[in-house]
Amino acid sequence: MQHVWIVLGVLFVLLNVAAGLIWVERRMLAMWQDRLGPNRAGPLGLLIVLADTLKLFFKEDWIPSFADKKIFVIAPAIVVASVLMSFVVIPFAPGIVVADLNIGVLFFLAMSSLGVYSIVLGGWASNNKYSLLGAMRGASQMIAYEVFMGLSLMGVVMMTGSFRLTDIVEAQRSVWFCFTQPLGLILFFIAGIAETHRLPFDIPESESELIAGFHSEYSGMKFGMFFIGEYLGVTLISAMTVTMFFGGWMGPEFLPGWAWFFIKTFAFILFFILLRASLPRPRYDQLMESGWKVLLPLVLVNILVTGAVLLYLKG
């Protein structure tokens, strides 16, 4: 019975966080761009969340007559499902984890690599050239970046000797992995931004070139799924960064574990928004070149050095 409560609780909190991020992101962007942002509905404009969600529900849910209907409907569901599945392995506090798999890290990587289908299929099923271009860019960007996303986590796995996420958090009791694996942290975070295709890596949708890229033809709640999926993805990458590199629920005693986890995750979500507010979008070829020619070799060097140091310390 306790298990059911954990599942429902995690789902409830995540969906509310994703919805709440609508307000957080718009207020923060406004602050960093020296304007007010949403401030009419409710105190501090908080009711914009409700208004935005209701608007999405009441909009006409239109499927273009030229689209491949079944795939057009499946695509937005894939992104939300795959991101929510990834949260299954994340330990929010001691004992609060949906399924503590002993292949946790790999499970996260598998689920995040499935998310690319929503972009590719959504863009293809829309039968629109801008959407298809967005889908093509999305596919190659995510394939390129998920390669070293997995490899950047391997340093941490080598130091822990386990793929289980609770073991990884426990191993950071004395020192967080952000101090011993700084290169891994930076590379993982860059890959994470590319995986969630947020600015500056929002090349699949880049509205100034491709209208809205892969989701140009989507409206109503199907667009809402992509929207929620993006915010859930941001939350997922932040939570994963905290779990792998910043000690998960660890923190001074005066606050409970889940509160520390929440605070750290929120800090990274804010960092995501700050990046969006401050960085320009690179060109498509620059993105691919930096991925394959700079970041991938760096990741391999990181693994090699970590292995060598571990061997030296052992023997």
Partner 1 sequence: MGTTQILFWFLTALALLGAIMVLVSKNPVHSVLWLIVVFFAISGHYILLNAQFLAIVNLIVYAGAIMVLFLFVIMLMNLNAETEPQKSIWMKFFGVATGGLLLSFFISFIVSSIDLKNKTAQLKEGDVGLIKNLGKVLFSDYVIPFEIASILFLSAMVGAVVIGKKD
By CB under 8 A, name the binding residues for partner 1: 68, 71, 101-103, 106-107, 109-110, 113-114, 116-117, 120-121, 124, 132, 135-136, 139-140, 142-143, 146, 150, 163
Torsions phi, psi of 216, nearest 5? -60, -40
The CB-of-102 to partner 1 minimum distance in angstroms stands at 7
Q: Which residues contact 169 (CB under 8 A, 6 or more apart)?
A: 91, 243, 247, 248, 249, 250
- Pick the closer one to partner 1 by CB: 51 or 110: 110
Burial degree of 12 (CB within 10 A; 0-12, 13-18, 19+): exposed
- Pick the closer one to partner 1 by CB: 35 or 70: 70
Residue 14 and residue 231: Cα distance in Å, rounded? 10
Residue 130 and residue 120: Cα distance in Å, rounded? 12
What does DSSP assign to residue 87? G
The CB-of-9 to partner 1 minimum distance in angstroms stands at 26
Residue 108 and residue 188: Cα distance in Å, rounded? 13
- Pick the closer one to partner 1 by CB: 109 or 187: 109
Specify the amino acid at residue 306. Answer: T
Q: Where do we find the tokens 């101090």?
A: 179
The CB-of-119 to partner 1 minimum distance in angstroms stands at 10
- Pick the closer one to partner 1 by CB: 53 or 140: 140
The CB-of-152 to partner 1 minimum distance in angstroms stands at 15
Coil, strand or helix: which one is 70? Answer: helix
Which residues are registered as beta bridge partners of 93? 96
DSSP 136-171: HHHHHHHHHHHHHHHHHHHHHHHHHT---HHHHHHT
Residue 42 and residue 48: Cα distance in Å, rounded? 8
- Pick the closer one to partner 1 by CB: 120 or 269: 120
- Pick the closer one to partner 1 by CB: 41 or 74: 74
- Pick the closer one to partner 1 by CB: 124 or 261: 124
The CB-of-59 to partner 1 minimum distance in angstroms stands at 28
Specify the amino acid at residue 247. Answer: G
The CB-of-85 to partner 1 minimum distance in angstroms stands at 11
The CB-of-138 to partner 1 minimum distance in angstroms stands at 10
